[in-house]
Amino acid sequence: MQTVSSIAIVTQSEKMRAILSRVDTIARSDTSVLLIGETGVGKELFADYIHRVSPRCDRPFVKVALSAMPHDLLESELFGHEKGAFTSASSEKKGLFELAHTGTLFLDDIDDVPPGVQTKLLRVLESQQVMRVGGTTTIPVDVRVITASKVDLKDLVGRNLFRADLFYRINVFPVEIPPLRDRREDVPLLVDHFLRRFAPSTQLTVTSDATRALVNYDWPGNVRELRNLMQRVALFADGEIRPADLPPEVLADQPADLLVRACTRCLVDQSLSYNQVIACLETNLLRQAIQDAEGNRSQAAKALGLSLSTLRDKLKKYGLDNGSD
């Protein structure tokens, strides 16, 4: 785990460690940084980290999610406006560049900036001066800019959706943050980190089967999805986190794994007929799911991707129905 102040980037991945080593070097300069990665990989955390290890660490750090800002307000929010610049401008307002003066400005989702604002943004980055909406004079600003994109900006440039000159201006030092599925060795470390954060007074442990399911899952929402899941699990877990405590989507790919683990005989015994192999596999898969769910049939059905009624029918078929739920 790499920690600076209250900022922690939790990793044991060699790929991530190599990235952090380069980031540590560049963070101490004023070089523009472009963070590239899927939603939820931790781009904002990297921006926090870069600011905290930079010489500007004691100065303002201003963050803005550009995709969440209405396009008609974006120019005013970034560059500010003078009183009377438009109907609702009842007083002058400093923009985010002015608020970040001497510090760092993090522009998340830079790929969502409309073309008109891209032009003005480039002008500010080149001149280090802003002119408020409705203003007639420029205001000097000293700002280190970090941008982030969830898509390949080069593709947007090729489709004339993003200015090439703005791309080259912000792409001085690109940092590609890998998705969690490409650094699965970090999953157990992150699980432990989030459980300690969300349940600091509880000694929660994770079974090997639950850990295997978490590591095997593809995490389309990346670290953010894992963090949110651990927050939810920590609320209800009772000492030990088992597969039954995990949502169905995390367990969706696990039946085959359970099958291989439980059915050593039917997978190697060539004397069994086709129907006998199927019966053996299904029986052991059902037993394993019920065991992992500690007898809870609803949880077992979810883990197997079956309806509860189908699970009951199969338990009865193979003589595994003990009459309890």
Give the tens place of pLDDT for each residue, 255-266. Answer: 455 555 555 556
Same domain, 173 and 187: no
CATH number at residue 270: 1.10.10
Residue 110: how many other CB atoms lie within 10 Å: 26
Give the integer Cα–Cα distance in Å for 234 and 128: 47
SS3 241: strand
- Residues 104-163 have pLDDT tens digits of 999 999 999 998 899 999 999 999 999 888 777 899 999 999 999 999 999 999 999 999
Same domain, 32 and 163: yes
pLDDT-derived band at 291 (thresholds 50, 70, 90) equals confident
Residues 235/194, Cβ–Cβ less than 8 Å: no
Which one of 133, 148, 178 terminates a domain? 178
Whether 57 and 152 share a structural domain: yes
Domain limits at 273? 254-325
How far is Cα 106 from Cα 101, in angstroms, rounded to an integer?
A: 12
Which residue type is seen at 75?
E
Let me know if 246 is exposed, middle or buried by CB neighbors in 10 A (0-12, 13-18, 19+).
buried
The domain boundary, picked from 202, 222, 251, lies at 251
